[in-house]
Chains A and B, each alone.
Chain A
Amino acid sequence: MAEDLVTVTIEGTQIAVPKGTTIIEAAKQAGVLVPHYCYHPSLPSPAVCRMCLVEVEKAPKLMPACVTTVAEGQVVHVNSDGARKARQGVLEFLLINHPLDCPICDQAGECELQDYTFQEGRAGTRYSKDAKRYNPVEDFGPDILYVANRCILCTRCVRFMDDVAQTPVLNVSERGDRAFIGIDEDQLLDHPWSGNVVDLCPVGSLLSKDFLHKARAWDLDKAASVCPGCSQGCNISIDTRDDVVVRLRPRPNLDVNRHFMCDYGRMDYRWLNRGDRVEAPLLREGQRLHAADWDTALDRFGQLLRDAAGSAVILASGRMSTESLGLVRSLVDRLDVTAAVRVPLGEEAPLAGIPHLALRRERTPNADGARLVGYGTDWSAALAAVPRAGIVIVLDAALSAEDVAVLQSARAPVVVLGTVADDWLRLASLVLPVTSMAEENGTYVNRDGRLQRYQQARSQPGMARPAWWVAGEVLGGPGPDADAPATAAEAFDLLARRYDAFAGLSHGDLGFSGRVLAGAGATASGSAGGTR
């Protein structure tokens, strides 16, 4: 056994963990959850909630598992009578001043106070004769409300602002049971990453105004996804209620975003719910676009591609999956191709306490995936090539008035694989309804060359299909094609056969935290995928 490993027994399970591991983390590895409130793996541990007290054999009293490090031969009991009684005591103390307003509390259903109380708290109260502490609700910032009455003073929010955001605007004010979370006068909780305090709050004390009373936690469906807001590629969960996206939340990935996401990414989800969608393929007949079935539309697309000569231009959105970008690019291989994704730029907003984590200037999730499959980011060069092109494919790119004016000058047919029914679609020879990132499976490559999967969170509208499916069907030629990819994983397999960067990889290799592509540097902006 390696010298720096320590063997401990936790709830009868013997495990070896690195020296310096806390009992709470060692227990996780042994498959034992030590109930806790103030402890969070991405924050310093103050050991104040005292919920994680465990019995360590030979120790004179119960030890806080969050700050006690393992020792060789240690035997830990998480569910001994003493530890249980202590936890029950803490739960009781936390509840005496906690309102029983779960029916109107957003946290209900995902509340750690509710969960642990249900699990091992007292059935009844012994605090029946006295009034509960009352403090009014405070408005902390643009999106955050503080419901002091529900606060259990775990101080996760204070520590996040102090140690992670390094903008210490929150504090513990007052002493004893009069204590509450205070905010510095003349300050707001408006840091670009402040929304994380809502996720960190183990109870319903810090609430998002955006999500306020929107949905009950148990009515939500969750899909593991990747934030489409910028090139960082924070792992997220897309939470939907009845097929409507109601919020985005960070999903832990210690290598990318730890447990956090920025407010820009968090709030930028309404476009996923847009109702003005293209729901059927539209074919040009003279001056008008007519709805058609997919077979007809795919045949038309194939014909337009076969008829095209000279050069092709692809104007793409950086929110498209690598699979869609790659397969659509394959459609025009025989032509001289100018393909570009538009990369909107914004201010960088770092999270000071976490190296390599920031809201990035490049506000699109897959510019690097696009580069790997033959796209540039020089939007104006691509636009300039439009008038002389033999075919123009718009891959769900959002076009400005100037872009549309250029498109009008195209002599060649314009094929749009789009989501939103914009006015300028009138210019198109063919419009094919495709899915947004929330409606499909796919992958993005973040700025560090990490290939990450995202999963479908809601159903696609109407007849919309993923763009890779459209391209796959067209690639196989007219008529039914058994070899066309039926899933995003199969579409990716085609890319893996074609691009060195993806060689040997499949969706199954990526898991929930992705994989850094071979040859990717600190930023993959320079990395290029050669074609075979």
Chain B
Amino acid sequence: MGYPHPSHPKETVVLSQYFGDAGARSYEGWTRRGGYEGLRKALGMAPDAIVEEVKASGLRGRGGAGFPTGLKWSFMPKGDGKPHYLVCNADESEPGTFKDREIMRWTPHALIEGCAIGAFAIGAEVCYIYIRGEFTEPWNVMTAAVAEAYANGALGTNVFGSGKRIEVILHRGAGAYICGEETALMNSIEGRRGNPRIKPPFPAVAGLFALPTTINNVETLAAVPQIMVRGSAWYKGLCLGNPKSTGTKLISVCGHVQRPGNYEITMGTPMKELIYDMCGGMLPGRTLKAVIPGGSSVPIMTAEEAESCVTDYEGVVAAGSMLGSGGMIVMDDTTDMVYQIWRLAKFYAHESCAQCTQCREGTSWTTRILGRILEGQGTQEDLDLLLDLSHNMTGTTICVLSDSCATPIVSGIRKFRGEFEAYLSGARAPVLAGV
């Protein structure tokens, strides 16, 4: 549901059903709402059968990459005699994304249950949930919920009397964006500097503490109990677009719409319905200019691209962007695109971990050039320079933070070149003097 707004008829409410319902936070309240049925069912299944069920559901990673979850789980070695780890990425730091926060705030047990099922499926006894440092309320809610889950036998050395040991350890981040990158996150848990690692080795081979590890997003894991209870066929049936995109997706809509919030849509819902129906359309008197559909790292879409876009993994790619994390930033005609792109670049420059040269230096350099353009000091060569630097920053580094900085710059210049030209020619008055 479009929390904090009431559910819209066009939503498909699965994960967000109890958003705003404080009664769902407790163990007792959660079980009364059907909670932990999925875990009980899973414990009666063979781990491989769980993996197959999730594979059949078509569930894909909700953190941004959209990798098929069951397939990822199947990469974990079997019978290797080593401890395995499940890590839940609850670092949700992608600008524009705020869905995992609500899952943890309102339905902490959905996540714990999903973690327990996932851990069981991949042969892990320990699951770390890495929670973003700034998430004070979700941290408190999760802490209480984990304690309750232990007290009620949903976690511990003998989960629901099955003889299985499943532990959940909460780990609080310290406020670095890059720690949402899965390998940096694992370094952070290990007490190292949160720098992304080189792949290979991939986490399934050598992840957390150099042991086989699977890392999943909050929303992904929270969907797993539903699949266990209602079956993969039901989940797979939640599809309005490409059959490779199934289930529901929480879209965090922010920006210049009437009702910003988290909307749970069936995969394949037209973006136009999301913006104009569920979110109530643009603010009075304004028109849509641009949409960043999947968190700040994905290409910016024009109004036309957004309005004709089908909201699923394939649909957004076809429209020239990516579904990403589902953090949708909607911008209207009053938006200064140059300023917004500068602001995004500034964020990446601040958050670069400083390992790779292109990222460390490129994010800051491009930010300075954009700042200069906003100050009215830009030249035509600066646009070519931005594009060339962006080219050098793309596909050349360990992780994609560098690419993420370049993406809005490239798509911004390509799609909104006129706004840049206005600053260059002096047609638009400088802002940011002295930045």
Contact = CB atoms under 8 A, between A and B. Distances in A.
A176 interface: yes
Interface residues of B, number: 31
A97 B398 contact: no
Q: Is the interface of A mostly helix, strand, loop or mixed?
A: loop
A15 B184 CA distance: 36
B396 A86 contact: yes
B354 A177 contact: yes
Contact of A93 (B350, B355, B365): B365
A130 to B, nearest CB: 5
A26 B40 CA distance: 54
Interface string A89-128: 1101110110000000000000000000000000000110
Given A48-B398, A129-B372, A177-B354, A172 B193 contact: yes
Contact of A177 (B364, B385, B391): B364
Interface in A47-102: 47-51, 53, 61-62, 64, 67, 85-86, 89-90, 92-94, 96-97
B362 interface: yes
Nearest to A179: B354
A175 B357 contact: no
A177 B357 contact: no
A227 B395 CA distance: 46
Nearest to B384: A126
Given A61-B396, A96-B365, A129-B372, A176 B351 contact: yes
Interface string B353-384: 11111101111110010001000010000000
Contacts of A179: 354, 360
Nearest to A49: B357
A174 B176 CA distance: 11
A350 interface: no
A49 B362 CA distance: 13
Contact of A175 (B351, B389, B398): B351
A175 B396 contact: no
Contacts of B74: none
A126 B388 CA distance: 11
Given A48-B356, A89-B392, A153-B354, A176 B349 contact: yes
B433 interface: no
A50 B385 contact: no
Nearest to A152: B357
B95 to A, nearest CB: 16
A175 B358 contact: no
Interface string B338-354: 00000000000111111
A387 interface: no
B397 interface: yes
A172 B353 CA distance: 10
A89 B396 contact: yes
A410 B385 CA distance: 84
Given A53-B396, A89-B392, A129-B372, A48 B352 contact: no
B354 A172 contact: yes
A70 to B, nearest CB: 14
A46 interface: yes
Nearest to B365: A96
B387 to A, nearest CB: 12
Interface string B151-195: 000000000000000000000000010100000000000000100
A151 B352 CA distance: 17
Contact of A64 (B198, B353, B392): B198
Contacts of A49: 356-357
Contacts of A153: 354-355, 357, 360
A428 to B, nearest CB: 63
Interface in A160-199: 171-172, 174-179
B198 A97 contact: no
A172 B395 CA distance: 24
B357 A94 contact: yes
B198 A50 contact: no
Nearest to A127: B365
Nearest to A131: B368
Contact of B352 (A61, A62, A90, A177): A177
B22 to A, nearest CB: 38
Nearest to B377: A129
A86 B392 contact: yes
B382 to A, nearest CB: 9
Interface in B384-416: 385, 389, 391-392, 395-398
A90 B361 CA distance: 9
Contacts of A47: 198, 398
Contact of B357 (A62, A93, A130): A93
B173 to A, nearest CB: 14
Contacts of B198: 46-47, 64, 67
A176 B377 contact: no
A132 to B, nearest CB: 11
Nearest to B385: A126
A450 B126 CA distance: 52
B198 to A, nearest CB: 5
A51 B357 contact: yes
A50 B359 CA distance: 10
B180 to A, nearest CB: 14
B139 to A, nearest CB: 23
A130 B368 contact: yes
A61 B357 contact: no
Given A48-B398, A50-B358, A50-B397, A175 B353 contact: yes
Contacts of A46: 198, 355
B354 A174 contact: yes
B363 to A, nearest CB: 6
A440 B84 CA distance: 62
Contacts of A61: 395-396
Contacts of B362: 93
Contacts of B355: 46, 48, 153
Interface string A37-52: 0000000001111110
29 contacts: A47-B398, A48-B357, A50-B356, A50-B358, A51-B357, A61-B395, A62-B396, A67-B198, A85-B392, A89-B391, A89-B392, A89-B396, A90-B396, A93-B360, A93-B362, A93-B365, A94-B361, A97-B361, A153-B354, A175-B176, A175-B178, A175-B350, A175-B352, A176-B352, A176-B360, A176-B363, A177-B352, A177-B354, A177-B360
Q: 8 tightest A-B contacts by CB?
A: A89-B392, A179-B354, A93-B361, A177-B364, A176-B352, A48-B355, A61-B395, A93-B357
Given A53-B396, A126-B385, A130-B372, 13 more contacts: A47-B198, A49-B357, A50-B356, A61-B396, A62-B396, A86-B392, A89-B392, A93-B361, A93-B365, A96-B365, A127-B365, A177-B349, A177-B363
